Amino acid sequence: MTNKRNGSNITLPIYLDNQATTPVDPRVLEAMMPFFKEKFGNPHSRSHSYGWEVEEAVEEARGEIATIIGANPKEVIYTSGATESNNLAIKGVANFYKDRKNHIVTVLTEHKCVLDSCRHLQQDGFDVTYLPVAPNGLIDLEQLRDAITDKTSLVSVMGVNNEIGVIQPLAEIGKICREKGVFFHTDCAQAVGKIPLDVNEMNIDLMSISGHKIYGPMGIGALYVRRRPRVRLQALINGGGQERGMRSGTLPAPLCVGMGEACRVAREDMPAESERIRMLAQKLHKGVNDRIPDVILNGDPEKRYAGNLNLSFSYVEGESLLMAIKDLAVSSGSACTSASLEPSYVLRALGVDEELAHTSIRFGIGRFNTEAEIDYAIDTLADHVGRLREMSPLWEMVQEGVDLKSIEWTEH
């Protein structure tokens, strides 16, 4: 489907959900193809040349993953994705050191798989501190410092938030963790390839990485595990002893190769791409603000990854807006929870009013979005937000000067 609006061809729907998943970059797909076809083989079958060739490619890809975060390839282990990496890092470290330490520090706005792993540890008798965030979505470093005790084994704080895009001060957090002698894990599924990262400069001990959030394939991820000082963890998946015993299972060679290529492309393109995405995001934000009143940006306006714009369109319910702007593939909150009716726990942690939380839409701008698409998105939003507000009793009341807070609502 194409549309001639704005004088250019646009394929609809426009994909603006690059935090849920990114399209596979054609360069990545090209790198993967030989490993689906002529270069198939089990990379662990070292006794025949099929296996050797595949193993070499898998190791080269590991090197690319290491390079983009300033690590040594030996410190990178492959997993099935960031969810597994987060589960492995948190449960693995907690369980390995549980005889001496039984406390974890994390943040209320972490990804669900981090929070669920922590909750599971609590059931097993661990203590977990969930740090609050300020209204801008960032943690307070003094609160972090105070939360760490001599029983703390791990601090887990994400790099870029998946719902609102704010960037936590990783270097400062790393410094505090190193001073206090606790391990620092960071979920960088949304950060790798988008912001500069260096595990040594930032004193990061463990880092979760996703393939499909960086224009690589789904079903592959990585966990960086520092060797000096050595971080040890209890494996979740045992067996053949692959990945230094931390993660068994046949390595999916095409996926490993794809992830390596995705890291290579991201590293090379990052300077130019960051600038372009920032420009597109600013254009979208400005365009929306110019045309639609009462739109609120969630999360810190400065300390954020530009490609994630979480906006609350007051007085218009998010799901009905999603339905209206069906030419734009966007989401209300994170993909894993978007089918539920609950407003986002991330926005709630920021102290966003529930009614505003119900009106938020996440725009994820990525590598393949164009300026024409952003123009089209602005037009679409202006049209439909206007139409839905005309249909909204809340908008009507506000126009009449009614303070919505003064009304006794029938909560149901």
Partner 1 sequence: MLYCDHNASAPTRPEVVEAMTRCLADGGNPSSVHGIGRRARAAVEQARSQVAALAGARPEEVVFTSGGTEANAMALAGFGDAPIFVSAIEHDSVLAAAPDAVRLPVSRDGVVDLDALDVALGDIGGRPIVSVMYANNETGVVQPIAEIARGAHAAGAIVHCDAVQAAGRLAIDFAGLGLDLMTLSAHKIGGPQGVGALIVRQGLSLKPLLRGGGQERGLRAGTENVAGIVGFGVATALARGEISETARIGARRDALEAALRRIAPDAVVYGAAAPRLANTTCIGMPGVSGETQVMAFDLDGIAVSAGAACSSGKVTASHVLRAMGFGDEAAGEAIRISLGLSTDDADIEAIGETWRKLYERTRARVGQTSRATMPAARTAA
Partner 2 sequence: MAYNDKVIDHYENPRNVGSLDKGDESVGTGLVGAPACGDVMKLQIKVGDGGVIEDAKFKTFGCGSAIASSSLATEWIKGKSIDEAEEIKNTQIAEHLSLPPVKIHCSVLAEDAIKAAIADYRGKHDDEQDQGAVAAE
Taking alpha carbons only, the member of 128, 82, 76 closest to residue 102 is 128
**CB of 37: closest distance to partner 1 in angstroms?**
6
What are the angstrom distances between the C-alpha of 321 and each of 62, 109, 143, 356, 386? 42, 24, 38, 13, 10
Give 49 or 200: the residue with its C-beta nearer to partner 1. Answer: 49
Strand partners, 11: 2
**Catalytic residue, candidates 118, 177, 188, 336:** 336
**CB of 88: closest distance to partner 2 in angstroms?**
32
Amino acid in position 38: E
1 sits near partner 2 (criterion: CB under 8 A): no
Q: Which of 31, 71, 77, 86 binds partner 1 (CB under 8 A)?
A: 86
75 binds, among partner 1, partner 2, none (CB under 5 to 8 A by kind): none
Taking alpha carbons only, the member of 236, 226, 194, 191 closest to residue 209 is 191
**Nearest-5° angle of CA 306, CA 165, CA 272?**
30
410 sits near partner 2 (criterion: CB under 8 A): yes
Give 242 or 320: the residue with its C-beta nearer to partner 2. Answer: 320
Provide CB contacts within 8 A for 409, sequence distance 6+.
Answer: none
Residues 393 and 399: their CA atoms lie apart, in Å, by 10
DSSP string, 241-256: -TGGGTS-S---HHHH
Alpha-helix runs per DSSP H in 215-370? 253-291, 318-324, 345-349, 354-357
The sign of the CA dihedral 239, 241, 247, 253 is negative
Name residues contacting partner 2, limited to 258-287 (CB under 8 A). Answer: none
Give 140 or 396: the residue with its C-beta nearer to partner 2. Answer: 396
Residues 225 and 379: their CA atoms lie apart, in Å, by 46
293 binds, among partner 2, partner 1, none (CB under 5 to 8 A by kind): none
Name residues contacting partner 2, limited to 326-365 (CB under 8 A). Answer: 339, 341, 343, 353-355, 358
| 177 noted as active-site residue | no
194 sits near partner 1 (criterion: CB under 8 A): no
50 sits near partner 1 (criterion: CB under 8 A): yes
Taking alpha carbons only, the member of 382, 365, 384 closest to residue 373 is 365
232 binds, among partner 1, partner 2, none (CB under 5 to 8 A by kind): none
45 sits near partner 1 (criterion: CB under 8 A): yes
Mark the segment that binds partner 2 (CB under 8 A) among 46-54, 218-226, 241-249, 384-392.
384-392
Name residues contacting partner 1, limited to 208-227 (CB under 8 A). Answer: 212, 217-220
Write the DSSP symbol of residue 303: S
The residue length of the chain stands at 412
Give 168 or 314: the residue with its C-beta nearer to partner 2. Answer: 314
Strand partners, 142: none
Q: Which of 113, 131, 170, 225 binds partner 1 (CB under 8 A)?
A: 113
240 binds, among partner 2, partner 1, none (CB under 5 to 8 A by kind): partner 1
190 sits near partner 1 (criterion: CB under 8 A): no
406 sits near partner 2 (criterion: CB under 8 A): no
Mark the segment that binds partner 1 (CB under 8 A) among 148-156, 172-180, 244-252, 276-284.
244-252
**CB of 112: closest distance to partner 2 in angstroms?**
19
- Tell me the two tokens of residue 141: 């470093």
For the chain, the C-alpha Rg in angstroms (whole number) is 22
Pairing outcome for strands 76-79 and 221-225? antiparallel
Provide CB contacts within 8 A for 199, sequence distance 6+.
Answer: 69, 70, 71, 75, 205, 207, 224, 226
Q: One symbol per residue from 302 to 321: x for binding partner 2 (CB under 8 A), - otherwise; what is it?
A: -------------xxxxxx-
Q: Which of 132, 240, 271, 351 binds partner 1 (CB under 8 A)?
A: 240
Name residues contacting partner 1, limited to 293-352 (CB under 8 A). Answer: 322, 326, 328-331, 334-339
**Tokens 């969810």, located at residue:** 83
Residues acting as catalytic residues: 336
Would you tell me which residues interact with partner 2 (CB under 8 A)? Answer: 315-320, 323, 339, 341, 343, 353-355, 358, 390-396, 404, 407, 409-412
